[in-house]
Amino acid sequence: MTDQRFTELLGKQLAGELSPEESTEFKSLLAANAGYQQEYQSLSTYFSKKEAPGQNIDEVFERITTRISPIEETAAQPLKTQANYSIWLKIAAVIVLATCGFLIYKTFLTTSQPANELVWNLASTPAKSVKKLTLADGTTVTLNAVSDLKYPANFTGNTREVYLSGEAFFDVTKDAAHPFIIHTDKIQVKVLGTAFDVKAYKNDAFTETTLIRGRVEIQLKNNTTQKFILQPKDKFVLDNQKNEGSMQRLTYYAEENPNNIIEIAWINNMLTFKNIDFASILNQLERRYDVKIICKDEKLKKQKFTGQFKRESVSDILNVLGSVVPFNYERKGQTIYIYP
């Protein structure tokens, strides 16, 4: 049943039809199964192309269905709109490919791929989860909850490039001849060998890079001429709405020592914040405890809080925050409603 469910979600993912709940389920299945990760990466590489050399998705689907005649004989009537038909044709092609396995995939799809094309891996973490992995060059990565890291099985060429959505701490193996580059939605981080944190959640107000040791270069995706050079203890902060970047210093919760750096406290399973708005804290709680939090009080969401937690439940944390700035909340399943 799990394989069948993964195949269904895979088809919807590649067609851009996943609901938020299905997206969470899909990422959980990926994180728990290396085979699923490889299958998703292989197929997404193909479907991301507008037109594969020598054949397109319609041709592939037609050739597959001629091999599996019962599917065509029992197929439902075509949908009335061309847009919906195209979407579901794509989903159907993916499901047939995944169900029939990589034999069909290799026969029909891989022939058009260059022999030297990189093989990409995808590491994903669901809510309430942290994952550690080692890349081919020895670089270690700690991936925070609700994050994705796309990285090659082996680094080739003059650079070492990965793609991040979410948050990760990198300890990069030094190699001056092959710079290490992290791509996010808003920025590009270039390093030679260093330790730093990149926080790039799409629903957060800010994208941040915090340098622990070494030296990194930040370049904005929408302004390639503007660059920021970080030295140890520097932090780069990008306002995601204004697309404006600024340099700051990393934050200590109390006395200045490595154990009190707020930006990397999550590595030690700590939830730490200092003078942070309530809306940002709620985003962190959602990822840490796998809950949905709804707060429509705009004034409350702008309130600033300072706190440090480790083993407390989400209810414990909300109770503590509510004792500082009064508010009420109600939990229904995995959804928490906050009101004055």
Q: Which residues of the chain register pLDDT less than 70? A: 1-4, 15, 34-35, 38, 42-117
- Of 52, 78, 112, which one is at a domain's C-terminal end? 112
Tell me, yes or no, whether 95 and 13 share the same domain. yes
- Of 217, 249, 281, which one is at a domain's C-terminal end? 249
pLDDT of 45 reads 58
Tell me, yes or no, whether 192 and 155 share the same domain. yes
Tell me, yes or no, whether 162 and 243 share the same domain. yes
Tell me, yes or no, whether 245 and 172 share the same domain. yes
Tell me, yes or no, whether 106 and 183 share the same domain. no
Residue 17's CB is within 10 A of a number of other CB atoms, namely 15
The partner residues of 298 in beta bridges, in order of sequence, read none
Residue 70 is assigned to a structural domain of this protein: yes
pLDDT of 43 reads 67
**Can you tell me the distance from the alpha carbon of 120 to that of 139, in angstroms, rounded to the nearest whole number?**
16
How does DSSP assign 139-157, residue by residue?
-EEEEPSSEEEEEESS--S
Residue 28's CB is within 10 A of a number of other CB atoms, namely 16
Q: Could you tell me the CA-to-CA distances from 67 to 4, 104, 124 in Å, in that order?
A: 20, 10, 34
Residue 153 is assigned to a structural domain of this protein: yes
**Can you tell me the distance from the alpha carbon of 145 to that of 127, in angstroms, rounded to the nearest whole number?**
5
Tell me, yes or no, whether 126 and 87 share the same domain. no
Q: How far is CA 208 from the centre of its chain?
A: 15
For the chain, how many structural domains are there in total? 3
- Of 89, 112, 135, which one is at a domain's C-terminal end? 112
Residue 259 is assigned to a structural domain of this protein: no
**Can you tell me the distance from the alpha carbon of 331 to that of 292, in angstroms, rounded to the nearest whole number?**
10
pLDDT of 91 reads 56
Tell me, yes or no, whether 26 and 106 share the same domain. yes
Contact 205, 280 (CB under 8 A): yes
Residue 148 is assigned to a structural domain of this protein: yes
pLDDT of 4 reads 66
Tell me, yes or no, whether 105 and 135 share the same domain. no
pLDDT of 262 reads 94
Residue 59's CB is within 10 A of a number of other CB atoms, namely 12
The verdict on pTM exceeding 0.85 is no
Encoding tokens for residue 164?
Answer: 């991040």
Residue 254 is assigned to a structural domain of this protein: no
Which helix (H) or strand (E) segment holds residue 296: the answer is none
Tell me the CATH number at 192: 2.60.120.1440
Q: Could you tell me the CA-to-CA distances from 256 to 168, 239, 272 in Å, in that order?
A: 23, 26, 15
Tell me, yes or no, whether 184 and 209 share the same domain. yes
Q: Could you tell me the CA-to-CA distances from 214 to 58, 72, 74, 190, 231 in Å, in that order?
A: 50, 59, 62, 11, 7
Contact 205, 170 (CB under 8 A): no
Tell me, yes or no, whether 80 and 188 share the same domain. no
Tell me, yes or no, whether 104 and 184 share the same domain. no
Domain span including residue 283 = 270-339
Contact 164, 200 (CB under 8 A): yes
Tell me, yes or no, whether 129 and 238 share the same domain. yes
